[in-house]
Amino acid sequence: MVLDSLKKGLRDTLKRLVGASTIDEALINEIVKDVQRSLLISDVNARLVFDVSKKIKERALNEQPPLGLSRKDHVVKILYEEISKLLGEEKPLPFKPNKVNKVLMIGIQGSGKTSATAKLSRWLTKHGYEVGVIGADTFRPAALEQLKSMCSKINVEVYGEDSKDAVSIVKRGLEYFDNKIDVLIIDTAGRHKEESSLLEEMKSIYDLVNPELVLLVIDGTIGQQCYSQAAAFHKAVPVGGIIVTKLDGAAKGGGALSAAAATGASVMFISTGERIDDLEQFLPTRFVGRLLGMGDIKALLDMARQLEIEADEKKIKRITSGKMTIDDFYYQLEQVNKMGSLKSLFENIPGLSTAVKEEDVDVMEEKVKRWRYIIQSMSKEERANPDIFNASRIRRVARGSGSSEKDVKELLTQYKRSKDIMKSVKGRAMHGLLKRFGFGK
């Protein structure tokens, strides 16, 4: 498959992870180094490698796995998520029903536009679309024959003319297919990104067609240079998606895919061979799932999701029954944070908007921010059992979080108050409120 070396590297990393007896910082460091090496070998840009490995490390060291998910599985999940992100966001095809959706294929000479046009026609036909093609390459000798011969094998009609005026060909092609099909793909002439007359032609075609999707075709064997190529084209016309070709046996595939993704335009398809069926839709999460060995990963992710939901439920129950820990208190702060600012929260609760002064809310937001640092400086034991706090612990936490002892004491008081409130009738009303906001369903 594509990116065999990356696959092998990542699977070795997984094996090492699964085989380890404990997950500690030393192991995480080794794992991160392994991943770095694998990514660099497949030509991923050093800067991107640095960023992604930093992220993996931070999350692996700091994130608490949901209750019931092992630390190990949690690290696997982090690897999966971060490497998927490195390869870009998933973007659906922008096609709408009951109209001719136009796709403009662009790219430099020999990148694989014409083959990709035929392959994409095939892919779309298989997915239920009625497809037509316009051959607008008036530069390459026999370009039209090449296109027609590929498309005739898959019963896709090609409109073309034996003329030199690409813009007029496209104009008549649009009229020809008017209302007859779902997707119209326009193959254009290959060009060097510097050739201004050809860039002009591309722009004229773009203005005439006003396409739903501009697909940039890039030869994947150039690796991370994909970035500057994509950026150059994007300056001329807005690139909506990228097709990376020639990934069969391209050792630099990782570089090509991550560089293309780094431009912000999603890699929508990859081409992995010369046959008409060698085009696949590119979905980063599924792709990485396959690299890592999908079956196991999917089961693991499902489990993680389920455990997260259960953990939330348990937390809410603990909070409302008055057995709240500082972790739970922190969780509440985080939930409030997720809902947006405290201000908007108060504005949304009837009666509160007039009862709470705006300055007070600002002060409160500041306080909550500080509390986060304070809680992060507490030990696990202190968070679970805050009764053990004494003067020296308070001093340590204050110093560790860069706040005053008074702040720490205030937080502890607030925590106790919150715990008491939750125990009372009001707490039960709060439970209802949390539910209304979608928590602890």
Ligand X SMILES: Nc1nc2c(ncn2[C@@H]2O[C@H](COP(=O)(O)OP(=O)(O)OP(=O)(O)O)[C@@H](O)[C@H]2O)c(=O)[nH]1
Residue 266 near which of ligand X, Mg ion, none (CB within 5-8 Å, type-dependent): none
227: tokens are 């970035």
What does the alpha-carbon distance between residue 142 and residue 148 come to, in Å, rounded to a whole number? 10
Query: What is the rounded CA–CA span in Å between residue 345 and residue 164?
Result: 64
332: partner contacted, choices ligand X, Mg ion, none (Cβ within 5-8 A by kind): none
Q: Are 177 and 159 in contact (CB under 8 A)?
A: yes
A 10 A CB-CB count for 359 gives: 8
Give the SS3 label for residue 280.
Answer: strand
Q: Which is nearer to ligand X, 102 or 191 (CB)?
A: 191
Contacts of 359 (CB under 8 A, 6+ apart): none
Residue 272 interface partner, choices ligand X, Mg ion, none, CB cut-off 5-8 Å depending on type? ligand X
Give the strands of the sheet with 183-188, arranged side by side.
157-159, 131-136, 183-188, 101-106, 213-219, 241-245, 266-271, 279-281
CB-side neighbour CA atoms (13 Å) of 111: 30
Find which of Mg ion, ligand X, none residue 88 binds, CB within 5 to 8 Å per kind: none
Nearer to ligand X, 28 or 218 (CB): 218
Q: Mask: binding to Mg ion, 72-111, rule CB under 5 A, as x and -?
A: ----------------------------------------
Task: Kindly state the smallest distance separating residue 219's Cβ from ligand X, in Å.
Answer: 8
E strand or H helix at 318, and its extent? helix 294-320
Residue 389's H or E segment, with its range, is none
E strands present in 196-323? 213-219, 241-245, 266-271, 279-281
Name the residues that contact ligand X, by CB under 6 A: 107, 109-115, 137, 140, 143, 190, 245-246, 248, 271-274, 278
In angstroms, give the least distance from the CB of 232 to Mg ion. Answer: 19
Nearest position to Mg ion, beta carbon: 114
Our CB check for Mg ion shows the closer of 114 and 271 to be: 114
Of residues 66 and 107, the one with the C-beta less far from ligand X: 107
Comparing every residue's Cβ against ligand X, the nearest one is 190
* Window 108 to 127, contacts with Mg ion (CB under 5 A): 113-114
Instruction: Look at residues 333, 393, 390 and name the one whose alpha carbon lies nearest to residue 367.
Output: 333
Residue with smaller CB distance to ligand X, 161 or 278: 278
**266 touches Mg ion (CB under 5 A):** no
Closest contact distance (angstroms) between CB of 136 and Mg ion is 10
Q: Tell me how far, at minimum, the Cβ of 139 lies from Mg ion, in Å.
A: 9
107 binds, among ligand X, Mg ion, none (CB under 5 to 8 A by kind): ligand X
Q: Which does 225 bind (CB under 5 to 8 A by kind): ligand X, Mg ion, none?
A: none
CA distance 20 to 147: 54
In this structure, are residues 139 and 216 in contact, taking their beta carbons and an 8 Å threshold? no
Nearer to ligand X, 88 or 107 (CB): 107
Binding-site ranges for Mg ion (CB under 5 A): 113-114
